[in-house]
Amino acid sequence: MWTDIAERGAAARDRSMTELLQSGNRASEFSVTIGDFLFDYSKTQMSEEDREALLDLARKSDVAARRDAMFEGGRINETEDRAVLHTALRNLSGASVYVDGSDVMPGVMETLTRMEGFAEAVRDGSFAGAGGAFTDVVNIGIGGSDLGPVMAHAALAPYCDGPRVHFVSNVDGAHIHDTLAGLDPATTLVIVASKTFTTIETMTNAETARRWMAEKVDDPAAQFAALSTAADHTAEFGIAPDRVFGFADWVGGRYSVWGPIGLSLMIAIGPDDFRDFLSGGHEMDMHFCGAPFRDNMPVMLALVGIWHNQGQGHATRAVLPYAQRLLRLPAYLQQLEMESNGKRVSMDGGDLPVHSGPVVWGEPGTNGQHAFYQLIHQGTRVVPCEFIVAARGHEPDLAHHHQLLVANCLAQSEALMRGRSLDEAREIMRAKGLEGDELERQARHRVFPGNRPSTTLMVPQLTPHVLGQIVALYEHRVFVEGVILGINSFDQWGVELGKELAQSLEPVLSGEADASDKDASTRALVDYVQRHR
């Protein structure tokens, strides 16, 4: 099965995308729409037969059965023995979802209602700090307890009409220092977001924030809220239960923005817009569950990913939002995709027969164009690019900016595909007056190989609903790729070893423990820090 996909990928290497696009209705046949939401993958080297083979792969990998098991509360996260039900958090239909025989939806809805009450109270000042209505909210969390809200908060800036929201994640004291500088403790609400409430970075930052607040506020705990599955730990920290928003272990960290972890976002944009965000995600869920695979956006996005990575051997994938407000989307997707599918052991404990998920990276356009696009166009490695762009912005007065933005986005995918031949480059040099060897030498530098694949996700406007669609689309893409690879996309054992070693190194750095069991390199680095701090 994998041999067939790899052989197809190799056979397609020299296939001209420009020629593919000349035949028939490829632009519409190699795209998927959900209402106004468009995913175009026509600028790839995938043929009709390749697509059939990939669809067959998805069918044989039991994607539909695994999908249904996920939505029905099955314990598909087998290495942690957990259900995977972030979809229940955005199940605005309220239809029952059972885990071990009990319906989780009443609890989900009750928590959503509590969050809404709290967010409204913060926004309208009926819940206030020692110095009056909250002007600032600081969300302390890391990984999935940070990246979702941080990404969505930036993406939805035009909808932010509540108090200012800030995010602290890094254990580097510089992060919390710079964030708290200039804030008034008496009008600041601190939200500690941690599924486990044991993550060292988050707990260290939370304690620092509490000390900072205690310098000015008599009862600092009264200005703290917690988002966690661990009610015992939040109580130990001193946060009253009415300001604790809990969720179940079936919400994975990197899938948690839809529930309590999204509280800071809800405070920023308001409960109605937050519901729009949820409804976008729910709409994508309905589509994912109902559409035939060929017309199914998450399935086709996943198959394009498999085609480029496992089929054609392209190890990385660039996510290039032509939307400055999506500046944190690449970082968000790095966790979503790489923590989920960066695994070398398959579900049954065997070695993965092919490479794991790709390296995901990116930056918003047009900035990236002036940085790394050189390599994308002329480097020796092919980087499949995923463009994301909205037809209209939120600044009607600056519509000409938006037009330039869109033109640049379309130009890049066109340039990647078309390239520039040696003859065309020679012509340009000739027009500049060059000739002979110098013309030849200069022309070669100006050749673009072209035939480089890209996809484009086009949306009407980056609204809360559309952002919900985008995030859920990528979640399901990761799920489908994981199922096809035979991976459990919902654990993250690969983050543990570094955490354990960091714990053992802290006393070594402080001098409380000796470094004799460390390797020579680590000992030398410790020695350097001890001499220079």
Dihedral sign from CA coordinates of 301, 302, 307, 310 = positive
Contact residue for ligand F6P among 195, 243, 275, 328 (CB under 6 A): 195
> Catalytic pick from 370, 432, 445, 532?
370
Contact residue for ligand F6P among 111, 135, 196, 378 (CB under 6 A): 196
346's tokens: 């398959």
Burial of 332 (0-12, 13-18, 19+ CB in 10 A): buried
Taking CB under 6 A as the rule, does residue 142 contact ligand F6P? yes
Contact residue for ligand F6P among 202, 369, 454, 455 (CB under 6 A): 202
Contacts of ligand F6P in 464-493 (CB under 6 A) = 492
Taking CB under 6 A as the rule, does residue 243 contact ligand F6P? no
Q: Please choose, out of 110-118, 136-144, 149-157, 431-439, the segment that lies near ligand F6P by the rule CB under 6 A.
A: 136-144
> Catalytic pick from 201, 283, 339, 475?
339
Taking CB under 6 A as the rule, does residue 456 contact ligand F6P? no
Q: How far is the CB of 10 from ligand F6P (least distance, A)?
A: 36
370 is catalytic: yes
CA distance 466 to 474: 13
Q: How far is the CB of 334 from ligand F6P (least distance, A)?
A: 12
Taking CB under 6 A as the rule, does residue 343 contact ligand F6P? no
Taking CB under 6 A as the rule, does residue 86 contact ligand F6P? no
Taking CB under 6 A as the rule, does residue 358 contact ligand F6P? no
Q: How far is the CB of 471 from ligand F6P (least distance, A)?
A: 15
| Cβ-based nearer residue to ligand F6P, 260 or 464 | 260
| Cβ-based nearer residue to ligand F6P, 195 or 452 | 195
| Cβ-based nearer residue to ligand F6P, 171 or 508 | 171
Q: Which amino acid is at 149?
A: P
Contact 213/136 with Cβ under 8 angstroms? Answer: no
Q: Please choose, out of 12-20, 140-148, 309-317, 462-470, the segment that lies near ligand F6P by the rule CB under 6 A.
A: 140-148
CA distance 129 to 245: 19
Q: Which amino acid is at 471?
A: V
Contacts of ligand F6P in 387-406 (CB under 6 A) = none
CA distance 182 to 165: 13
CA distance 121 to 396: 32
Taking CB under 6 A as the rule, does residue 254 contact ligand F6P? yes
**Residues 506, 512, 515: CA angle, nearest 5 degrees:** 70
Contact 286/35 with Cβ under 8 angstroms? Answer: no
CA dist 104 → 10, 110, 118, 288, 357 (Å): 47, 10, 21, 21, 31
Q: How far is the CB of 228 from ligand F6P (least distance, A)?
A: 8
Taking CB under 6 A as the rule, does residue 148 contact ligand F6P? no
Q: Which amino acid is at 198?
A: T
Q: Please choose, out of 22-30, 55-63, 142-150, 388-396, the segment that lies near ligand F6P by the rule CB under 6 A.
A: 142-150
Contact 333/461 with Cβ under 8 angstroms? Answer: no
Q: How far is the CB of 89 from ligand F6P (least distance, A)?
A: 15
Taking CB under 6 A as the rule, does residue 199 contact ligand F6P? yes
Taking CB under 6 A as the rule, does residue 253 contact ligand F6P? yes
Q: How far is the CB of 492 from ligand F6P (least distance, A)?
A: 5
195 is catalytic: no
43 is catalytic: no
SS (H, E, C) 433-487: CCCHHHHHHHHHHCCECCCCCEEEEEECCCCHHHHHHHHHHHHHHHHHHHHHHCC
Contact 437/368 with Cβ under 8 angstroms? Answer: no
Q: How far is the CB of 522 from ligand F6P (least distance, A)?
A: 22
Taking CB under 6 A as the rule, does residue 194 contact ligand F6P? yes
341's tokens: 């599918």
Q: Please choose, out of 189-197, 299-307, 437-445, 478-486, the segment that lies near ligand F6P by the rule CB under 6 A.
A: 189-197
**Residues 284, 285, 287: CA angle, nearest 5 degrees:** 65
The DSSP code for 45 is S
The DSSP code for 311 is I
Q: Of 413, 455, 422, 417, which Cα lies nearest the Cα of 20?
A: 417
Taking CB under 6 A as the rule, does residue 143 contact ligand F6P? yes
Contact residue for ligand F6P among 10, 214, 315, 495 (CB under 6 A): 495
- The catalytic site residues sit at 339, 370, 499
Q: What is the contact surface with ligand F6P in residues (CB under 6 A)? A: 142-145, 194-196, 199, 202, 253-254, 339, 492, 495
